[in-house]
Amino acid sequence: MNSEELARQLRVRVDQALERWLPPARTCPERLHTAIRYAVMGGGKRLRPLLAYASAAWLGLPPERVDAIAVALEIVHAYSLVHDDLPALDDDPLRRGRPSTHVAFGEAIAILVGDALQAHAYLVLATDSTLNASPVARCQLVRDLATASGSSGMAGGQAMDMEAAGRPVDAAQAEFICGLKTGRLLEAAILMPCRLRPGIEPQWLEAAQRFGRAYGLAFQLADDLRDMDAPAEVSGKAPGGDQRQGKATLLSLLGPQATRARVRTLQLEARDALASWGPEADLLRWLCATTLG
Amino acid sequence: MNSEELARQLRVRVDQALERWLPPARTCPERLHTAIRYAVMGGGKRLRPLLAYASAAWLGLPPERVDAIAVALEIVHAYSLVHDDLPALDDDPLRRGRPSTHVAFGEAIAILVGDALQAHAYLVLATDSTLNASPVARCQLVRDLATASGSSGMAGGQAMDMEAAGRPVDAAQAEFICGLKTGRLLEAAILMPCRLRPGIEPQWLEAAQRFGRAYGLAFQLADDLRDMDAPAEVSGKAPGGDQRQGKATLLSLLGPQATRARVRTLQLEARDALASWGPEADLLRWLCATTLG
C-alpha cells in the first residue's frame, strides 16, 4: 500500500477512535457534548494522529497500540483551536470552513469545551486499554502531553505570541515562539509512541526528537506561508489573521523567500534524522515531503 | 494539636508546596508565569488541599504523601476560578478581594493561564516523587482528577449552570448541577488519597464517597447562602452574582430557610459516613463542622 492510501485509512481510523472515545452527544450535559463533537469531529488534517501512527510504523508497533495517543493528541489540538479562535485571542470566526465553536455555541460554551476536552485527553491516556501500556509508560505519556501543551509548550507559545504582537521581535525569538506554539505538540506526536517500547535504544529517541523538532518548526512556517494569502474558501479560516493582528511571525520578519528556504533546510534536517532507517520510516518521510509544500 | 491549628499549618504547607511546584515567575514566558502565580497564590481557603490532608490523616498517611494531590487539586480549582470569572462566563471583576486575573492581565492571558494550569496539574500528578505512589496509583489519580473536572464533572456542571440561567429548573436538577460543578472535585479531594493505600478495604472507599458526596453538595449550598447578601469586602467577590445572571440555584428555588435545612441534613449525612472511625477522622469532622456554617 502506498503512503497516500495508508494516510487516508489512518485518518478514517482516528476518526473512528475519536467517535468511540468522545462522550456521546446525547448524554448529559447535552449541549456541551454536542459542542465538543462539533469542535473535534469537524474535519481537519489529523496531522498529529498521522504523525503518531507514522511513528508507530517506524517503531514496528501496530496502529491499534497508538489509537489512544492519536486521540489524546487530536483532542488537545482541537481544544487549543477552540480557545485560540476566541475573540480575546485570535478572534477567528471561521474554522475548517464552518463557524468557529464560539460562533456556533457562544463563548461560554466554547471556553468550557476547551476545558473539558483537555481533561478528556488525560482520561483517555490514563484509561484506554488498547494502548496496552505499562502504568509506567502511561505516566510518561501523561508527562509528555502535559509538558508539550502547558506553559513551557503550546500554551506558553500562544502567550508569547500574544505578547509579541505589535512589538519588535527578532528572528530567533519568532522561531522560539513558533517552536513552543506548534512544534512541541508535533514533537510529542513522534515521541509518545516511543514510550510503548520499554528499553528502547537511545538512537531511536534521539532520531524522534531530531525529526520532531525540525518537522514541527517547518510545519508552522509552511502553514504561515499557506495562510499568507490563501482565500477563506481554501484555508477555511479568515485570511491574513496574523498580519491583521500585527503578529511578528518569522514570515513577516524574513519575507516569503527566506522563509521558504528555512522550510527546505528544516525538511532536509528532518529527513536526515531518519537516514539510518529503511522502509519502516517511509510514512514519516512521506508526511515530511507532502505536508511542508 | 487542635484541628484549627492543624488546618492553619496545613494551609501554610500547601502554599509552600504550590510555591515549589509552580513554574518560577522569572522563567519564560514571564508574563504567563506571573499571571499563573497571581491566580494561584492570591490566598483562598485552600479547602480542597485541606480535605486531601484530612483524608490522609484519616487513612493514616503522613501529609507529605499527599502534597502533590493537594497541589493538583488547588491548581485545577484555581484554573476553574480564572475561567469562571471571565466576561463570557460569570463576569466577576473581583476575586479574593483583588482584581480577577482577566482584569489584571487581560482576557487572552487569563484563558491561557487556565489552560496551562490544567496541564500543570497532570504534570504534577505524573511526576512528583514525594507522592511515593506506584505507577498504577498515579494513573488512577489522573483518572480521578480528569473525571472530577471534565465534562461529567466540574466543566459539565458549569456548562449546565450557564444553560440553566433564566430557564425553569426544578430542585433535583439544581442539586444535580451543583453536585457536578463543585461536588465532584471536593469528593475527589477525599477519594484521591485512598489511592495511595493499595488494597484498601471497600468500607473506606464507600465512606470516602458518602462523606465526599454529602459534604461537596452541602459546601456549595452553604457557599450560595454566604454569597447571597455578603458585601464585596467580606466575600472578596462582587455580590449577588448568581441572582444578577438569573441562575436557578437551589437557594433561589427553595429559599434560605429550606436551603439551610438541606445543608444540616447533608452535614449529618457526612458525619454519619465517618461514624465507625475514631480521632483519626477528627480533621474531616472539624472541616465538616466549620466550613458549612
pLDDT digits (tens, 9 = 90+) for B146-197: 999 999 999 999 999 988 877 778 888 989 999 999 999 999 999 999 999 9
> What three-state secondary structure class fits A11?
helix
User: DSSP string spanning B50-98?
Assistant: HHHHHHHHHHT--GGGGHHHHHHHHHHHHHHHHHHTSTTTT--SEETTE
For residue A251, the model assigns a pLDDT of: 85
B133 pLDDT band (50/70/90 cuts)?
confident
Q: What is the mean pLDDT of residues A32-47?
A: 94
Cβ-defined contact of B112 to A31 (cutoff 8 Å)? no
Question: Does A189 have pLDDT greater than 60?
Answer: yes
For residue A245, the model assigns a pLDDT of: 62
Q: Looking at the complex, report in whole angstroms how far the Cα of residue B113 sits from the nearest Cα belonging to chain A.
A: 8
User: Distance between CA B218 and CA B223 in Å, rounded?
Assistant: 8
* Lowest-confidence segment of A145-154, A190-199, B188-197, B237-246 by average pLDDT: B237-246
Phi, psi angle pair for B23, to nearest 5°: -60, 140
Cis peptide before A93 (omega within 30 of 0): no
For residue A288, the model assigns a pLDDT of: 96
For residue A129, the model assigns a pLDDT of: 81
Average pLDDT, chain B: 92
Best of A73, A103, A125, A142 to substitute, by most chain B Cβ atoms within 10 angstroms, is A142
For residue B191, the model assigns a pLDDT of: 97
User: Distance between CA A131 and CA A125 in Å, rounded?
Assistant: 8
Could you tell me the three cell numbers for A174? 519568532
For residue B234, the model assigns a pLDDT of: 55
Q: What is the mean pLDDT of residues A25-52?
A: 95
User: Distance between CA A186 and CA A73 in Å, rounded?
Assistant: 9
- Residues B198-231 have pLDDT tens digits of 899 999 999 999 999 999 999 999 988 988 766 5
Residue with the bigger pLDDT between A70 and B293: it is A70
User: Distance between CA B34 and CA A280 in Å, rounded?
Assistant: 45
Residues on chain B touching A160 (C-beta within 8 angstroms): 28-29, 32
pLDDT > 70: percent of chain B = 93
Could you tell me the three cell numbers for A122? 488525560
Question: Does A278 have pLDDT greater than 80?
Answer: yes
In order of A19, A221, A241, B23, B88, the CA distances from B109 in angstroms are 32, 24, 19, 16, 15
Question: Does B257 have pLDDT greater than 90?
Answer: yes
- Residue (of A23, A33, A40, A42) closest to A109 by Cα position: A33
Q: Looking at the complex, report in whole angstroms how far the Cα of residue A4 sits from the nearest Cα belonging to chain B.
A: 34
Cβ-defined contact of A23 to B127 (cutoff 8 Å)? no
Average pLDDT, chain A: 92
Architecture of domain A3-290: Orthogonal Bundle (1.10)
Question: Does B90 have pLDDT greater than 70?
Answer: yes
For residue A259, the model assigns a pLDDT of: 92
For residue A235, the model assigns a pLDDT of: 56
In order of A286, B134, B255, the CA distances from B197 in angstroms are 49, 10, 42
In order of A229, B58, B185, B216, the CA distances from B272 in angstroms are 67, 15, 21, 15
Counting runs of H as helices and runs of E as strands, what totals does chain B give?
15, 2
CA angle, B90 then B96 then B100, to 5°: 50
* pTM score of the predicted model: 0.95
Among B31, B123, B155, the residue with its CB nearest the CB of A115 is B155
H helix intervals, A193-281: 202-229, 232-235, 241-244, 250-273
Q: Looking at the complex, report in whole angstroms how far the Cα of residue A160 sits from the nearest Cα belonging to chain B.
A: 6
- Residues A195-234 have pLDDT tens digits of 999 899 999 999 999 999 999 999 999 988 988 756 555 5
- For A47, other C-beta atoms within 10 Å of its C-beta total 20
Among B110, B115, B151, the residue with its CB nearest the CB of A23 is B151
Q: Looking at the complex, report in whole angstroms how far the Cα of residue A154 sits from the nearest Cα belonging to chain B.
A: 9
A positions 29-48 inside 8 Å of B (CB): 29, 31-33, 36
pLDDT > 90: percent of chain B = 78
Establish how many alpha carbons lie within 13 A of residue A238's alpha carbon, considering only the half-sphere containing its beta carbon.
13
Question: Does B51 have pLDDT greater than 90?
Answer: yes
B13 Cβ contact list (under 8 Å, min separation 6): B53, B63, B67, B70
User: Distance between CA B213 and CA B183 in Å, rounded?
Assistant: 6
* Lowest-confidence segment of A128-132, B73-77, B258-262 by average pLDDT: A128-132
For residue A279, the model assigns a pLDDT of: 97
Question: Does A53 have pLDDT greater than 60?
Answer: yes
Cβ-defined contact of B116 to A23 (cutoff 8 Å)? no
> What three-state secondary structure class fits A94?
strand
CB of A167 less than 8 A from some CB of B = no
User: Distance between CA A281 and CA B201 in Å, rounded?
Assistant: 49
Q: What is the mean pLDDT of residues A20-38?
A: 95
Cis peptide before A23 (omega within 30 of 0): no
Amino acid identity, position B84: D
For residue B245, the model assigns a pLDDT of: 62
Q: Looking at the complex, report in whole angstroms how far the Cα of residue A122 sits from the nearest Cα belonging to chain B.
A: 7
pLDDT > 90: percent of chain A = 78
Q: Which residue has the cell 498515579?
A: B138
B128 pLDDT band (50/70/90 cuts)?
confident
Residues on chain A touching B136 (C-beta within 8 angstroms): 135
Best of A31, A32, A33, A181 to substitute, by most chain B Cβ atoms within 10 angstroms, is A32
Q: What is the mean pLDDT of residues B34-45?
A: 94
- Distance from chain centroid for Cα B141: 16
Question: Does A243 have pLDDT greater than 60?
Answer: no
User: Distance between CA B268 and CA B246 in Å, rounded?
Assistant: 31
A242 Cβ contact list (under 8 Å, min separation 6): A224, A227, A249, A251, A252
Among B116, B143, B153, the residue with its CB nearest the CB of A155 is B116
- Residue (of B67, B284, B97) closest to B186 by Cα position: B284
- Residue (of A186, A100, A142, A151) closest to B114 by Cα position: A151
For residue B240, the model assigns a pLDDT of: 56
A29 Cβ contact list (under 8 Å, min separation 6): B151, B156, B157, B159, B160, B163
* Lowest-confidence segment of A62-76, A156-170, A218-232, B89-103 by average pLDDT: A218-232
CB of A132 less than 8 A from some CB of B = no
B positions 270-289 inside 8 Å of A (CB): none
Residues on chain A touching B118 (C-beta within 8 angstroms): 115, 118-119
